[in-house]
Amino acid sequence: MRRHVPTYELYGENTGRKPDFWLHCETIRSRSSLHHWEIRLHRHESFFQILYIEGGSGDAIFADKSHPIRPPAVITVPPGLNHGFRFSRDIDGLVITLLRSHLSQPLGDRSHLGEWLAAPHLTPLDPDNAEAAYVMQTLRRLSDEFENRRSGRNETLGAYVALALRLTARISDEGNSYELPSNENERRMDMLNELLQQHFRSHKPASFYAREIGVSPTHLTRIVRSMTGSTPHELIAGKLIEEAKRQLVFTLGSVQEIGFRLGFADPAYFSRFFLKYTGETPRVWRVKEKVRLEGA
């Protein structure tokens, strides 16, 4: 039986009215303390969220999986995604909630950034890194600006949001990020696996699969790494090796014939490819595996 996941504007609030704000900022402590430091699984249909973890610890729950949070870090949560959190009592940080329709206004061209924003991310911040330190400062200044109703408040808040998200995405692209699994990522992995089954013998590059799924090659790499720990190239190679092993054991074809069936025009290259990923040539592996199976 599928569990019901409630939809909120702000966690625990369900007024039934349209929101009267485009951005809201509060401390994580102020809301989580009301709920025994646990934000149960929920979703926001109209809002994007940024959590800045400055101190304490906790866990982020996405796709029913728990991921440890270590400060300082930024977590981004796109609309429509089931998520929750568990925090330590000494948690220190901010949660910024902004209306999805306002998100694009301060960000301008979102061709790459839009893809990054579409998936949840947990990005550790190194205080010794100048751009990470600037993200931390920007989010603290955003909180101060939200609390104090000065002239130009909305424009300033929009500028802070754009700067914090752009820099966080840049840090993420440099490899200092973990894309949290989501239902959308699971769907894309299912699509990738189906495409691999259809095309692995054609030796299509990762860019082909990214195009078919509708994401950039960089985004595909992030998805595959977060879901499998491998790169798309390693996944493609693994599919070829898996089928090569199956045919070496269960068919009578020669190594050369099997290589041809798997799209390798050069038998020598097929042997080098197999050796790279298994540590043995196809012939040696075949003999050893048949001996192993006979003795089992």
Structure confidence by residue, pLDDT tens digits, 4-37 = 556 555 555 554 555 557 899 999 999 999 999 9
Query: Model confidence over 109-166: pLDDT tens digits?
Result: 455 777 788 888 899 999 999 999 999 999 999 999 999 988 999 999 999 999 999 9
Q: Which is it for the CA torsion 282, 285, 291, 296, positive or negative?
A: negative
pLDDT at 39 over 50: yes
DSSP label of 64: T
pLDDT at 279 over 80: yes
pLDDT at 175 over 70: no
Structure tokens at 241: 């090796």
Q: Does pTM surpass 0.85?
A: no
pLDDT at 192 over 70: yes
pLDDT mean across residues, the chain = 86
Query: Model confidence over 149-162: pLDDT tens digits?
Result: 889 999 999 999 99
> Quick one: which of 76, 36, 33 has its CA closest to 53?
76
pLDDT at 2 over 50: no
11: Cβ contacts below 8 Å, ≥ 6 apart: 31, 35, 39, 42
| DSSP 3-state of 109 | coil
Which amino acid is located at 293 in the chain? L
Instruction: Characterise 108 by phi-psi region: left (phi > 0), alpha (psi -120 to 50), beta (else).
Output: left
Element (H, E) at 193: helix 183-199
- Alpha-carbon distance of 64 to 5, in angstroms, equals 12
